[in-house]
Amino acid sequence: MSSHARRCTPLALVTVILGAVTALLVGAGTAGAAPAPAAAPPAAAPAPVAAPAPAVALTAGTPCDASADACVDLSSQQAWLTDGQGNVTYGPVGALGGTKKYPTPTGTFSVDYKDADHVSNLYDADMPFSVFFAPAIAFHTGSLSQRSHGCIHLGKTASKRFFANLSPGDTVQVVS
């Protein structure tokens, strides 16, 4: 053995062991520790704003939807026939609705049936070229100066044209 061999004293041995244990504990403590927090993610982009619902397409020159086959505007006292695709095929023509006591219903309806020689059981009145689109409500030939009991009065030529061009199931729209 060399004369330069060092003697290991108990104090030196304890110092070495404590140093090794400390190194292990410090290394082990950081090895299992959670990593440093990452940079915050970029702020989320604002949510896209939904586009407004598309407006219902109207038949040009009328206040009615393009899908209507017949259109009535009670306030202007006019009616039209259309192709159901937004194009006027006939009109405007004069059209007179009901009274305050017997108003013409507004909304979208379907033609129920037609009767060229209808006579009203309720009012004992001739209703030539009737096209019924709501219960007891029809387009028919009638006075354009005297209001109806809810029906749409048309002149004779117009009522014949409405009768010839509308069929059961066709859409009628009445607006006020």
- Write the pLDDT tens digit of every residue in 125-134: 999 999 999 9
pLDDT tens, 21-30?
A: 455 445 555 4
Task: Return d(Cα 111, Cα 165) in angstroms, integer.
Answer: 11
Domain ranges of the chain: 70-175
Q: Has domain 70-175 been given CATH number 2.40.440.10?
A: yes
Q: What are the residue ranges of helices labelled H in 9-151? A: 10-31
Token representation of residue 36 = 């440093």
Residue 114 — very low, low, confident or very high, per pLDDT cuts 50/70/90?
Answer: very high
For the cut 80, the answer to whether the pLDDT of residue 65 exceeds it is yes
H helix count then E strand count, the chain: 2, 9
For β-strands 171-175 and 152-154, DSSP reports them as unpaired
Token representation of residue 162 = 């409405």
Q: What residues are annotated to the active site?
A: 140, 151
* Mean pLDDT of the region 10-36: 50
Q: What are the residue ranges of helices labelled H in the chain? A: 10-31, 156-165
pTM: 0.68
Bigger pLDDT: 91 vs 54: 91
**DSSP-assigned beta bridge partners for residue 90:** 81
For 104, other C-beta atoms within 10 Å of its C-beta total 22
* Mean pLDDT of the region 7-36: 51
**Res 59: pLDDT:** 86
